[in-house]
Amino acid sequence: MINIPETDKQRVVIVGCGFAGLTLAKKLRNSQFQIVMLDKHNYHQFQPLFYQIASAGLEASSITFPIRKIFQKYKDFHIRKASVEEVDAANKQLITSIGKVRYDILVLAHGATNFYFGSEKMQIYSKGMKSIAEVLDLRNSLLMNFENAVAATDEAEQNRLLNIVIIGGGPSGVEIAGALAEMNKYILPKDYPELKNKKTNIFLLEGTHRLLNAMSEKSSQKSKQFLENLDVKVMTGTLAVDCDEKSVTTNKGETISTGLIIWTAGISGNKIKGLAPENYGKNGRLLVDRFNRVKGYENIYALGDISFMTEEKYPAGHPQVAQVAIQQAKLLGENLIKGIYTKPLKEFNYKDLGTMATVGKNLAVVELPYIHFYGVFAWFVWMFIHLMSIIGVRNKLIIFINWAWKYFTYDQSTRLILRPKNCG
């Protein structure tokens, strides 16, 4: 067993310190429970700004925060850096990379990973954006392509290295496309004057007939307009049906030569051994009731991207966004505390607080419950909300300075290729 002090309190084990796990831990702070937090990293990461790391707009350290620092003043709170390998529900314990841990209540909040719709080639040749490691690898690959394009003597190879294909027209795809388009317009001509007569082509492929499907038709049209004004080639109704190291083939028979494929098209829940196959629903998400309890278990819960819950307004499940995870975690914390006093529990009802996406400087689309707006004001609203959501005063300050510097100079200073030895 992992060395954790035994007490007479019920032990709540939380797997994952993303938005859901972090919110639940805060809700149960210094409560009647002993809390054990398990995460394979020793930091919390702010995923909505991953695209800015990938496009060299921010450093990874500015959107990460040490888990132990967050919980320094919490009583009877224990953190272990570990990967969960299996749930042993019969014995109420988890099997992890550092040993077994007992639980009275288990909360799975370990998020999702990339879902490639069964395409092994796409999994091999594309770059994802679901972790700090992935976005740093994407940034390195992007910058290395520019360096290799400068050195290339073959024009066709040079053109290929300067082509970028983004698969998926949701918020992540739209935001990385806008960021790369601005980089292409303002940064590359200064950094690589040898390529001034060349053009970086950015292709954004979306299988449905519009971008940002979770938003309104007008927001979709606006985002497409913004991107096309930045010279992004938006290809709706277009699926990537095949790929290799140097090209992407679409369902329309077109082959796009490219040096970089970015995958933002789908996500799937991170599965854990030990839970019955019938507990999993669409895209590897755990089926839960309106209290976020995994169906078939009395003391196992799932939150956020890993959970699949239906309600009248969301018969196909909730969107896999931060607000769902946060609201579910807050309610579960309240219900767990109520459970101690045998008070009636409250069912979850998702309250949509709004959706937003940025496309570039002064360009964003924002949908709040009673108003939609676009352009400059939307961009400032997007920036303010994201800045306030970042953990740590230092991180907020660093990001604000970076954004202000970029706003006035059209530049960013994080274009560093950092790779371990012998990795290119």
Q: Provide mean pLDDT across the span 190-209.
A: 92
Residue 396, domain member (yes or no):
yes
Host domain of residue 34: 10-40+82-114+267-340
Q: How high is the pLDDT of residue 418?
A: 81
Handedness of CA 322, 302, 79, 11 (dihedral sign): positive
Distance of CA 245 to the CA centre of its chain: 25
Give Cα 148 to chain centroid, integer Å.
29
Q: Which residue has the higher pLDDT, 259 or 283?
A: 259
pLDDT 10s digits, 342-372: 889 999 999 999 999 999 999 999 999 889 9
CATH number at 98 reads 3.50.50.60
- 172 with 212, same domain: the answer is yes
Mean pLDDT throughout 119-139?
95
Mean pLDDT of 293-309: 96
Same domain, 124 and 175: yes
% of the chain exceeding 90 in pLDDT: 88
Residues 31 and 125 in one domain: no
Work out the pLDDT band at 409, boundaries 50, 70, 90. Answer: confident
Q: How far apart are CA 394 and CA 317, in angstroms?
A: 36
pLDDT of residue 196: 82
Q: Compute the average pLDDT of residues 398-423.
A: 83
Q: What is the pLDDT of residue 422?
A: 58
Long-range contacts, 249-253 (Cβ 8 Å, 24+): 250/205
pLDDT over 70 for what percent of the chain? 99
Closest CA to 166 of 214, 129, 199, 191: 129
pLDDT for res 283: 87
Q: How far apart are CA 22 and CA 303, in angstroms?
A: 11
pLDDT reported for residue 423? 54
Nearest to residue 163, comparing CAs of 188, 200, 196? Answer: 200
Whose CA is closest to 260, among 364, 355, 137? 137
Q: Which runs of consecutive H residues, i.e. helices, occur in 168-262?
A: 171-186, 188-191, 217-229
Domain count along the chain: 2
Q: What is the distance between the alpha carbons of residues 213 and 275, in angstroms, rounded to a whole number? A: 32
What's the whole-number mean pLDDT along residues 125-153?
A: 95
Is residue 280, in this structure, part of any structural domain at all? yes
What's the pLDDT tens digit per position in 40-63?
Answer: 999 999 999 999 999 999 999 999
Nearest CA-CA partner of 177 in 291, 265, 299, 115? 265
Lowest-confidence region among 183-187, 209-213, 289-293: 183-187
Over residues 307-328, mean pLDDT: 95
Tell if the pTM clears 0.85, that is, is over it: yes
Contacts of residue 276, defined as CB under 8 A and 6 or more positions apart, other chains included, come to: 296
* DSSP for residue 196: T
Same domain, 227 and 160: yes
pLDDT (mean) for 86-92: 97
Picking from 46, 133, 67, the residue whose alpha carbon sits closest to that of residue 387 is: 46
Q: For residue 421, what pLDDT band results from cuts at 50, 70 and 90?
A: low
Question: Do residues 171 and 314 share a domain?
Answer: no
Longest CA–CA span in the chain (Å) reads 74
- 106 in a structural domain: yes
Q: What does the block give as tokens for 275?
A: 């839970």
Residues 382 and 328 in one domain: no
Looking at the structure, tell me whether residues 249 and 379 fall in a common domain. Answer: yes
In a domain, 61, yes or no: no
For residue 49, is it within any domain?
Answer: no
The CATH number covering residue 165 comes to 3.50.50.100
On the 0-12 / 13-18 / 19+ scale of CB atoms within 10 A, 219 is buried
Take residue 321 and report the two structure tokens written for it.
């966004």
**In the predicted model, what is the mean pLDDT of the chain?**
94
Mean pLDDT of 81-92: 96
Distance of CA 145 to the CA centre of its chain: 24
Residue 319 domain flag: yes
* One domain for residues 245 and 383: yes
- Residue 307 has what pLDDT? 97
Instruction: Specify whether 147 is located in the same domain as 227.
Output: yes
Rounded CA separation 327/19 (Å) = 10
Q: Is residue 209 part of a domain?
A: yes
pLDDT over 80 at 280, yes or no: yes
Same domain, 33 and 176: no
Overall average pLDDT of the 168-181 stretch: 96
Both 245 and 329 in one domain: the answer is no
Is there a single domain that holds both residue 169 and residue 285? no
Would you place residue 306 in the very low, low, confident or very high pLDDT band (cuts 50, 70, 90)? very high
Q: Would 384 be classed as within a structural domain?
A: yes
Q: What length is written for the chain?
A: 424
Sequence-distant (≥ 6) Cβ neighbours of residue 237 within 8 angstroms:
206, 207, 208, 209
Radius of gyration over every alpha carbon of the chain, rounded to an integer in angstroms: 22
Q: How many H helices and E strands in the chain?
A: 12, 24
